[in-house]
């Protein structure tokens, strides 16, 4: 959601970006992955999902997290996973959150979003749905998300449209293969009464192994930037702020919010700085710890260090720093760059030499390239895997 910055009555206390860099007492919003279980095995999956983790938070524990978020006035959560609809208590958790002033947006691959589920979702207030689709056409989508995934997503979109859900979102991770399909994707979303949302591919989870061949080329980054300018109807989750270094800033919050205004709660309650850094180095604590999520957010050493001023690096002297802020922390981390290095997809090409030095698991500065800490991939399942559309098991409250 592009947050709207209200015209400032003078004098400004401090630029908002600076306020956000210092961190807030509670996140503005957060991502909450309900399960690592997933019927798909997308080749870019940031959470390496597949198998359920037996230590998953129970329904009661999920309710307690919601209670805390309500006290903190976290106005909405992005539920994901894994496939969140695979949790038998998915609807009760969503309903509990909404009843406690925590709005819900959830992301789904669409497989379990049948006619009944669509009707149930359409009857709820303060709920938003995001159907993931990574290509307008089946070959492009299914190359990443697995055979049958395109059909499943389109069926879900039809069910939502038929149920009169209203403006749901179609969420696309922009890749080398689908960047030319953006107009088509937008039309496809609109024909279902939905809004297109495009986000940036990160080298996270299984994406660590596919990022280099899926990420847009430099020329495509420019093409994407030009396409986004003036298309205010297309949402971006503010994820393309590194493209702002091309010139005009894209709308929204142009900074990395990790541990400052956003974070991730994973299925077992671990709190990470952002959804794209599921790695021990970015693990701040667990909601099951004494003091719960609130204490992790406010007192963890990791989050405190992320709220300190950026250390000097190539970026702080770059003329585009104000626009781009040095880019995405997760992207740097998982490709073997230092956090003070330029973003690996720096549009000025300032990371190219460094990337050239990364070789055979050794990062640009001689340290091993970090590997995602946990892998929930189902053993023996090829990535992407063919998907069999099972009839949706009815999961009622």
Judged by the rule CB under 6 A, the positions of this chain that interact with ligand SF4 are 38, 40-42, 45, 47, 49, 81-83, 109, 145, 242, 245, 314-315, 318, 320-321, 324, 326-327, 342-343, 346, 348, 350
Q: Which of 26, 127, 140, 173 binds ligand SAM (CB under 6 A)?
A: 173
CB under 8 A: which stretch of 22-30, 155-163, 197-205, 262-270 binds other proteins?
Answer: 22-30
Contact 328, 309 (CB under 8 A): no
Closest CB to other proteins among residues 78, 175: 78
For ligand SAM, which is the closer residue by CB, 72 or 194? 194
Cβ–Cβ under 8 Å, residues 283 and 302 = yes
Task: Tell how strand 283-286 and strand 29-35 pair up.
Answer: unpaired
Residue selected from 60, 76, 163, 220 as contacting other proteins according to rule CB under 8 A? 76
Phi/psi for 324 (5° steps) reads -105, -20
Q: Which is nearer to ligand SF4, 117 or 296 (CB)?
A: 117
Q: Which CB atom, from 8 or from 123, has the smaller least distance to other proteins?
A: 8
Cα angle 62, 283, 264 (rounded to 5 degrees) comes to: 45
DSSP line for 292-355: HHHHHHHH-HHHHHHTSPPPP-TGGGSTTHHHHTT--HHHHHHHT--TTSPPTT-TTSTTHHHH
- Nearer Cβ to ligand SF4 (306/328): 328
Tell me the two tokens of residue 3. 């947050």
| Contact status, residue 146 vs residue 385, Cβ threshold 8 Å | yes
Contact 135, 182 (CB under 8 A): no
Give every CB contact of residue 247 below 8 A, 6+ residues apart in sequence.
none
12: which 2 tokens? Answer: 């400004």
Nearest distance, CB of residue 73 and ligand SAM, angstroms: 25
In the numeric block, which tokens belong to residue 141?
A: 């989508």
Q: Is 38 in the site for ligand SAM (CB under 6 A)?
A: yes
Q: How far is the CB of 17 from other proteins (least distance, A)?
A: 11
Non-local (6+) Cβ contacts of 322 within 8 A are none
d(CA 351, CA 208): 17
**Burial bucket for residue 5 (CB in 10 Å: 0-12, 13-18, 19+):** exposed
Which of ligand SAM, other proteins, ligand SF4, none binds 173 (CB below 5-8 Å, type-dependent)? ligand SAM
Strands 76-81, 169-174: parallel, antiparallel or unpaired by DSSP? unpaired
Applying CB under 6 A, among 105, 202, 242, 279 the residue interacting with ligand SAM is: 202
H/E segment holding residue 71: helix 59-71
Q: Which of 56, 128, 134, 238 binds other proteins (CB under 8 A)?
A: 128
The partner in contact with residue 348, picked from ligand SAM, other proteins, ligand SF4, none with C-beta cut-offs of 5 to 8 angstroms by kind, is: ligand SF4
Q: Is 264 helix (H, G, I), strand (E, B) or coil?
A: strand
For residue 131, give the nearest of 148, 152, 147 by alpha carbon: 152
288-327: contacts with ligand SAM (CB under 6 A)? none
Distance in Å, CB of 32 to ligand SF4, minimum: 13
| CB of 330 vs ligand SAM, minimal distance in Å | 9
Pull the structure tokens for residue 121: 């979702």
Q: How big is the chain, counted in residues?
A: 397
Q: Which does 377 bind (CB under 5 to 8 A by kind): other proteins, ligand SAM, ligand SF4, none?
A: none
Site map (CB under 8 A) of other proteins, residues 81-120, x = contact? --------------------x-x-x---------------
Choose, by CB under 6 A, the member of 37, 46, 77, 189 that binds ligand SAM: 46
Using rule CB under 6 A, residue 83 touches ligand SAM? yes
Contacting range for ligand SAM; rule: CB under 6 A; set: 51-59, 203-211, 347-355, 378-386:
203-211
Is the preceding peptide bond at 310 cis, omega within 30 degrees of 0?
no
* Interacting residue with other proteins among 53, 67, 75, 378 (CB under 8 A): 75
Tokens of 78: 């992005």
Q: Is 360 in the site for other proteins (CB under 8 A)?
A: no
Q: Decide: is 309 part of the binding site for other proteins (CB under 8 A).
A: no
Residues of the shown chain interacting with ligand SAM in the complex, contacts defined by CB under 6 A: 38, 44-47, 80-83, 107-109, 132, 171, 173, 199, 201-202, 204-205, 207
Residues of the shown chain interacting with other proteins in the complex, contacts defined by CB under 8 A: 1, 3-10, 12-14, 16, 19, 24-26, 28-29, 73, 75-76, 101, 103, 105, 125-126, 128
């Amino acid at each position: 959601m592009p947050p709207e910055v209200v015209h400032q009555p003078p004098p400004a206390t401090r630029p908002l970006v600076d306020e956000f860099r210092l961190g807030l007492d509670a996140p503005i919003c957060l991502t909450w992955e309900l399960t690592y279980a997933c019927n798909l095995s997308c080749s870019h999956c940031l959470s390496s999902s597949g198998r359920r983790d037996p230590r998953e938070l129970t329904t009661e524990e999920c309710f307690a997290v919601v209670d805390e978020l309500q006290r903190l006035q976290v106005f909405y959560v992005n539920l994901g996973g894994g496939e969140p609809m695979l949790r038998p208590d998915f609807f009760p958790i969503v309903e509990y959150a909404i009843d406690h002033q925590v709005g819900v947006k959830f992301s789904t691959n669409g497989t379990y979003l049948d006619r009944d589920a669509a009707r149930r979702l359409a009857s709820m207030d303060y709920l938003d749905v995001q159907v993931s689709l990574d290509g307008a056409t089946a070959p492009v989508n299914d190359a990443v998300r697995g055979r049958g995934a395109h059909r499943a997503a389109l069926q879900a979109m039809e069910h939502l449209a038929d149920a009169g859900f209203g403006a749901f979102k179609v969420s696309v991770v922009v890749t080398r293969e689908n960047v030319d399909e953006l107009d088509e994707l937008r039309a496809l979303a609109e024909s279902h009464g939905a809004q297109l949302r495009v986000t940036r591919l990160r080298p996270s989870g299984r994406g660590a192994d596919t990022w280099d061949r899926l990420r847009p080329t430099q020329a495509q980054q420019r093409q994407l930037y030009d396409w986004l300018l003036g298309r205010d109807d297309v949402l971006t989750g503010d994820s393309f702020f590194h493209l702002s270094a091309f010139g005009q800033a894209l709308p929204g919050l142009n900074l990395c919010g990790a541990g400052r205004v956003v974070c991730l709660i994973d299925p077992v309650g671990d709190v990470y700085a952002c959804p794209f850094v599921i790695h021990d180095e970015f693990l701040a604590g667990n909601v099951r710890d004494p003091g719960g999520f609130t204490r992790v957010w406010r007192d963890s050493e990791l989050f405190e260090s992320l709220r300190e001023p950026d250390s000097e690096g190539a970026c702080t002297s770059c003329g585009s720093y104000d626009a781009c802020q040095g880019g995405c922390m997760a992207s740097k981390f998982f490709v073997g760059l230092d956090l003070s290095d330029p973003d690996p997809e720096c549009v000025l090409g300032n990371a190219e030499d460094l990337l050239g030095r990364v070789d055979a698991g050794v990062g640009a500065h001689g340290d091993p390239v970090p590997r995602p800490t946990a892998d929930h991939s189902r053993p023996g399942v090829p990535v992407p895997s063919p998907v069999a559309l099972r009839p949706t098991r009815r999961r009622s409250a």
